Each structure stands twice: as C-alpha cells, then as structure tokens.
A and B are shown apart, each in its own frame.
Chain A
Amino acid sequence: MINVSKLKKGIVIDHIKANHGYKIFKQLGLDRIDDTVVLMRNVDSRKMGKKDLIKIETDVHLNLDVLGLIDPDVTINYVENGELVRKVRLELPLEVTGILTCRNPRCITNQEHVEDIRFRLVDPETKEYACEYCEARTHL
C-alpha cells in the first residue's frame, strides 16, 4: 500500500474512472507545472471498485470544461490549511471553446488555423459535440 500524505493546500481531483487519470493529467497540462503533483492509479474505492486520483499542491486554475469532457463524474475538492473548503461536481459542458478540434477533413478549420472553435453538445450519451463551422460531430 502506497501512502501519500494529506494535502495542506491544493486541489484533489477525485472519483476519476480507473485509467482516465493519465488522460486528465495530460489534458490539464499537469506535466508542465512546477508544483508537486501526484497521479494515483487503480486506487481501491468503495463506490467505484477502482478509481484514479490526482493531488495538486497548488491553487492552479483548472479548466473544468476539459475535465467535464473527459470524465463528467469526477469531483474537485479544494483544500486549504488541510481542510476541504469547496467541493465541485462536474457536468458535461453544453458548449466548449478552444478544446476540441474538428475531425471533418472538409471543414475549413482543417485548412487554416482558426482560434477558439466553439463546439455545441449534441448528444450527451455519446458525448458528441458539433463544430460551429461545419456542424460535423466530434468528441474528445
């Protein structure tokens, strides 16, 4: 059993589906920050059986849209002085900007660089989003 000490100040991303932790770690760019970050995989969970967990020892801004897209069931716990001060539950965002790229080869956004492409949620079950330019469906 590996023990990671309790966080004094920072963020705990909890209830990540097993094996989704690394994807979230990469998408949030946690490999590029200087603060202490722990990614725990396949942690025993009463509720989920196995889960992943990320602890970040900083108050870095998290892009909750990215998290919502990858795993809308995760919980974000904000910790200060060793105490939980805020808990945020995520939902699949209705709209995301600048995160997804269109997979339609006939879309203009794949011919020239377009900033901040907006995608609208069209199917919550399949997590499919429609590109604002060509309306083709895509997902993360």
Chain B
Amino acid sequence: MLKGRNLIAPVDFTMEEIHSLLDLADAIIDNPAAYAESAKGKVLASLFYEPSTRTKFSFDTAMLRLGGSVIGFSDPTTTSTAKGETVADSAKTISQYADIIAVRHPKEGTALLMSRYSDCPVINAGDGGHMHPTQTLTDLLTIRRLEGRLDHLTIGVCGDLKFGRTIHSLVTCLARCEGMRFVFISPQELRMPDYVKTVLDRAGVPYYETHDLEASMPELDILYMSRVQRERFVSEEEYLRLKDYFILTADKMQLAKPSMMVLHPLPRVNEIAVEVDSDPRAAYFKQVKFGMFVRMALILKLLGIE
C-alpha cells in the first residue's frame, strides 16, 4: 500500500510496489478517459524553488489529466520564503491547503525535511544533485513498456556518470532486478562514483567501464544518454573540454541492435544529434510522455485512489 506514503528516494518503494505503480501507469495509458476524474476535488501543491519547466509541467498536467487542481509556484521570490519562512513551516502550512505536494529545491534533503512536517504525502521532484525519483520511475516505465520487461537487459549509460543523479538512481534501482548488466561509458573524469559501483558489487551485478561508445553499441539493449551539466563544474574550462566528449550520431546508431532503444532524461544540448530523432529507436520524447503517465499513477497511489 502506497497510500499516505512519501516518495523521497527510489529505494523508498520495493520492486513489487514499483511494478504495481507501473501496472497502474499502463492502465492509464491504455484508457486515459477512465481516469479523467479520478482525482476530482484533490489539490496538488507544485512547489518549485528552482526552475524546471519540464518537471513542473509534467506534474501539473498529470494532476489536471486526473481531474484534480494545481496550486504552486516556480519562482520562490514571490512566496513567503522571500520573507524568511523555513521550508519546514512552508510544508506544514501548504499541507493544510493541498492533498499532495511535489517539491523541487536546490538544497539536498529538502523533500525529506518537508515530509517530516507535512500533513500530506510529499513527492521529491528533485533536491539539488541528490535524488530525482520520479525521473527514475519514468525511466523504468519507459524501459518496461518498450522492452516488455525489467530484467535480463544490458544497459549502456553514457555521458556524465559522475554528477548525473538520474543515472545513479536508475542504476541502483535496476540493481534490484534479475539478470541486469551495465556498461558505463564516460571520459575518465566523469566516471561512475564508487558508491554506485559498491551497490552493484554487493548485489553481484556485472558491469564494466569504457570510453569507447562505438565498441559497446552492438551489445546494448538500452542506451541511456545524459547531458554534461554546466552547473556541476567548478571551472568553465573543464566543462567546455568535456561537454562534447560523446555525441550520438546516426552513424553510431548503425552499429546498434535493431531493437536497441535510446533514452535521455532531457533536456539535451548536443549529445544526441538531431538526425537521430527520426530513428524509430529514439525513445526520449516518448519517455517524456511516459513521465506524465507515471506521475499520474504515483499521485493516485499516494492519494489511495485506484
């Protein structure tokens, strides 16, 4: 039962709970009209203390498509925060108005702190460089829908593996599934951190690290691309040196299996050439839509509406 629970990190839910959530997302995709009034009378507080148009739109449209309403902000300078209100007090106050809260904040741990003071469920919509669990759910739904399973897959993860929080969450979550194998493709400076590799080692999940995207293409079932994020670098020089390291092109796609899917949490900069968009294996825009459906399922589950 997920009713009344919070989602702060992907590991908050068991794989069984995640599969049940994805089942509901599948049901919504198959028959969205049946859920168009499921959350009627319910209010989502969508609190974005830092800009993220994509995630905010995804949460807001998820609630609207369930027949619910949305309050919130995407600019904290227009709220009581600007007057010095603590996030703890904001959580207590806003949860008197809303039935569920989605919060994004630049400080790590904010969603957990808010969940301790809120009288309604809190969803972490991203807390700094720490966690972004609804992106993980999005990725899981996308993989399960496109591959038909969440087990026995070889997943290549490419780009900024050091700072990519969505990648850390996805890999540690998939480590709980059977028969998974990972290929970590990155420059030396942006390799997967030890804590993620420790999780894999403990779970007995095989993986290897490489900087050769082309050589690893033929063995992949999924290629998860990521953006090298400017804000994670101390110096502009370092960012400029690494940002163009891996670019997926139509030529490289020719090396991949006909069934290999390309995922990306978006937004992209230039790591996937636009020419790849027309390839039927480019699944990143479908992934965006699945993100909305999985958030619809999550809202219903946490509100206890099925």
Q: Interface on A for B, CB 8 Å cutoff?
A: 104, 106-114, 131-136
Contact = CB atoms under 8 A, between A and B. Distances in A.
A132 to B, nearest CB: 7
Grouping DSSP codes into helix (H, G, I), strand (E, B) and loop, the A interface class, with mixed when no group exceeds half, is loop
A109 B128 CA distance: 13
Contacts of B105: 108
Nearest to B9: A135
Given A106-B128, A135-B130, A114 B108 contact: no
Contact of A104 (B86, B88, B108, B112): B108
A108 B110 contact: yes
A109 B108 CA distance: 9
Given A106-B128, A133-B113, A134-B130, A111 B108 contact: no
A112 B88 contact: yes
Given A106-B128, A106-B129, A134-B130, A112 B87 contact: yes
A108 B129 contact: no
B202 to A, nearest CB: 13
What is the size category of the interface that chain B forms with chain A?
A: 10 to 19
Given A112-B86, A133-B108, 12 more contacts: A107-B107, A108-B87, A108-B109, A108-B113, A109-B109, A113-B86, A132-B109, A133-B109, A134-B108, A134-B109, A134-B128, A134-B130
B173 to A, nearest CB: 15
A108 B131 CA distance: 13
Contact of A132 (B86, B87, B107, B112): B112
Contacts of B87: 108, 112
Interface string B101-115: 000011111101100
Interface of B: 86-88, 105-110, 112-113, 127-130
Contacts of A112: 86-88, 113
Nearest to A111: B107
Q: Name, among B109, B110, B112, the residue most crowded by chain A CB atoms within 10 Å (CB to CB).
A: B109
Contacts of B110: 108
Nearest to A114: B113
Nearest to B85: A112
A115 B130 CA distance: 21
Contacts of B107: 106-108, 110-111
A114 B113 CA distance: 8
Contacts of B129: 106
A11 B105 CA distance: 47
A110 to B, nearest CB: 8
Contacts of A108: 87, 105, 107-110, 113, 127
Nearest to B89: A112
Nearest to A133: B109
9 contacts: A106-B106, A106-B108, A107-B109, A108-B107, A108-B108, A109-B109, A109-B113, A110-B107, A133-B108
A136 B108 CA distance: 9
The 7 residue pairs across chains A and B that have the minimum distance between CB atoms:
A133-B109, A134-B108, A108-B107, A108-B109, A134-B109, A108-B110, A112-B86
A114 B115 CA distance: 13
A5 B105 CA distance: 58
A136 B112 CA distance: 14
Nearest to B113: A108
B254 to A, nearest CB: 41
Nearest to A102: B109
Contacts of A131: 109
Nearest to A132: B112
A131 B108 CA distance: 10
Nearest to B110: A108
Nearest to A117: B109
A134 B127 CA distance: 9
Q: Name, among A108, A110, A114, the residue most crowded by chain B CB atoms within 10 Å (CB to CB).
A: A108
A10 B258 CA distance: 77
A89 B127 CA distance: 40
A112 B105 CA distance: 13
Contacts of B127: 108, 134
Contacts of A109: 109, 113
